[in-house]
Chain A
Amino acid sequence: MRNPVGWAALTAFSLAFFAFIYAPLFVIIGYSFNSNPVNMMIWEHFTFDWYTGLLGLSDRTTDVSNRAAYVESTDQMLAALRTSLTVALFTTTISTVIGTATAIALARYRFRMRGFYNGFLMLPMMMPDIVLGIGLLIFFVTIGMKLSMLTIIIGHCTFLTSYVFIIVQARIAGIDPALEEASADLGASEWVTLRKVLLPQLTPGILGGALLAFVISMDDLVITYFISGTGDTTLPVFIFGMIRRGVKPEINAIATLIILASVVIAALGLWLRSRKTD
């Protein structure tokens, strides 16, 4: 039945496809364990130095003569990571609550200009990052708001709310409205129905949206670049700054750690999604 040649071609194509996607990641992971401080493309021997150095646990850095500067930059990196996590935590919470509430309101209640709101919520997602970044910067400057962690949080919320909204909305569309009617029919007020029926049914969508918001917030460079002040730098902005001074092995270590974190988060997301509700 199967055409062996076609099958082999398809297999080869799939392998090539995955290699194309994952090869760069594996290269980075490999380099992060290469002890050669000058040229990471030439393998010396295996080392954890870049990780320990990154975390301020060892002395070895790429630039031994400039050790003081490097320790400082380790602290800066940890500070940037802290900023990123704080920003992601706040923006995830805020945009998940607002995005979910908006999705429920637009799906379940009829009011004027419903269609308009619907389209309007998609807009920040489709806007190029650079436009959004410049727009936010000009806005904050105009209203006289000092760039800080707060402006990053506000900036992220503007577009992350849209992501959460779209994911939760897709989930609501798949929920039989008769469920909520059955709940009301059995004596539950709207509030009780929301709590006991609609929200539990939406949980996978809400968690998925929150996870996506978290990952995007952690990852965003372009918009954050415009609206972060000198004080509070997020991890991507920090890494971007580091790269401009040359690609150092520590960057590979950071990247590898981020890949690891992403895999963990993605696995968590898949696991949550596989816990079907019906």
Chain B
Amino acid sequence: MSALLEIRDARRTFVTPEGGRLAALDGVSLDVSANEFVTLLGPSGCGKTTLLRAISGFETLDSGTMRLGGADLTGLPPFRRPVNTVFQSYALFGHMTVARNVGYALEVAGVAKAAREAEVAEALEKVGLAGLGARKPGQLSGGQRQRVALARAIIAKPQLLLLDEPLSALDRNLRQQMQLELKTLQHSLGIAFIFVTHDQEEALTMSDRIVVMRAGQIEQIGTPRDIYRHPKNRFVAEFIGETNLMPVTIDRVDGSEALARTAEGVELRLPASGRKPGEQVTAVLRPADFTLGASGIPATVSRAVYLGSDLYVFVQPKAGGPELRVIARDTAGVEAGATVHLSHDPARVHVLEAA
């Protein structure tokens, strides 16, 4: 299957008012297939919006190509691109009713009024706003406005929908509800979504693939599990979820396991694949990869945070050394000052080549 959207070596440099040059897109290549949910994830200013705007045509590239369904997009103005956008600010037309907002793409395309009304009703139905067509956007709640923006963007059945942090203005509950609804909608519409967020949890729950960006470059592309379990480097490991990064030196290799030691002398077991004694690497362990039990690495609890059925525990294997974060079942006796024992499954340890 050939890709719906092909981006090759996209570059865009801004001249900042301070006189410097800033590479907002620094050689970005990305393929998106039909009906795929791709999330752009990265810290503020890494170029997510710029990439989205380049796809929708509001930003021009200095170099590189973009093809949509095989057709070159270069030089095509935004209104000729079969791509629609859900804006972060929603950008609803305040002087029009909800129905006219939703039907706008059809109106400017010259679709007859009767046909338009039927489609508007259907689109409003899809986003759960049936019957609100006569209102003005100013008479809706934030969540409802969000849905209007969504209905407006999907009514023309674009091949690709771009969403720039569409949920960032909603409160937590509504956000989680919309995350599920968006995912379901994407599935039933069969449209590819490119979704921008800087919320890693959102990215993990919604995406088919996550694109992690930093400073105009793509750091890693992969499924959520891939990105979470096998981050390519420190940046990705730290950006996605809570992580324990432990620089270690390989002590010896023992069959399928390697024994490694941190500078403070804490012992870890890792997968042996390709490890050599004396090598310096970084072990990546998620908080849930440790188990608190009767045996293992002894450590002192410095803080325990109650999460409901779980405890979020900060432990110190060596006094004065770095802290580790561990998620454990809520058991009696795990409290500040107590001594616990940490064990881990060597197969769950991800290894970064650089120390």
Contacts and interface: CB of A to CB of B under 8 A. Distances in A.
Interface of A: 176, 178-179, 181-189, 192, 196-197, 200-201, 203, 276-278
A187 B108 contact: yes
B87 A184 contact: no
Contact of A192 (B56, B108, B153): B108
A186 B138 contact: no
Contact of A178 (B87, B107, B156): B87
A188 B79 contact: yes
Interface residues of B, number: 28
Contact of A278 (B57, B85, B107, B138): B138
B109 interface: yes
Nearest to A278: B94
A125 B85 CA distance: 42
A200 B79 contact: no
B14 interface: no
Contact of A201 (B85, B94, B138): B94
B78 A184 contact: yes
A181 B108 contact: no
Given A186-B84, A186-B104, 12 more contacts: A176-B89, A182-B91, A182-B93, A183-B104, A184-B78, A186-B79, A186-B152, A186-B153, A187-B105, A188-B104, A196-B108, A200-B93
Contacts of B138: 276, 278
Given A178-B91, A179-B93, A185 B78 contact: yes
Interface string B50-64: 000000111000000
Contacts of B92: 182
A186 B95 contact: no
A186 B105 contact: yes
Main secondary structure of the interface of A (DSSP, over half): helix
A201 to B, nearest CB: 6
Nearest to B100: A196
Nearest to A189: B79
B109 A187 contact: yes
Contacts of B87: 178, 181-182
B298 to A, nearest CB: 57
A278 B56 contact: no
A176 B137 CA distance: 15
A277 B94 CA distance: 6
Given A181-B78, A182-B85, A278-B137, A188 B91 contact: no
B54 to A, nearest CB: 13
Nearest to B87: A178
A276 B104 CA distance: 21
A203 B94 CA distance: 12
B45 interface: no
A200 B101 CA distance: 14
Contacts of B136: 278
B108 A176 contact: no
Nearest to B77: A184
A187 B153 CA distance: 11
Given A176-B91, A179-B91, A277-B95, A185 B56 contact: yes
Interface in B59-103: 77-80, 83-85, 87, 89, 91-95
Contacts of A276: 138
Interface in B172-201: none
Contacts of B153: 185-186
Contacts of B93: 179, 182-183, 197, 200-201
Nearest to A201: B95
A27 to B, nearest CB: 44
Nearest to A188: B108
Contacts of A278: 94-95, 136-138
B95 A200 contact: yes
16 contacts: A176-B91, A179-B93, A181-B58, A182-B91, A186-B84, A186-B104, A186-B105, A186-B108, A188-B79, A188-B104, A188-B108, A201-B94, A203-B95, A276-B138, A278-B95, A278-B136
Contacts of A187: 79-80, 105, 108-109, 156
Nearest to A276: B138
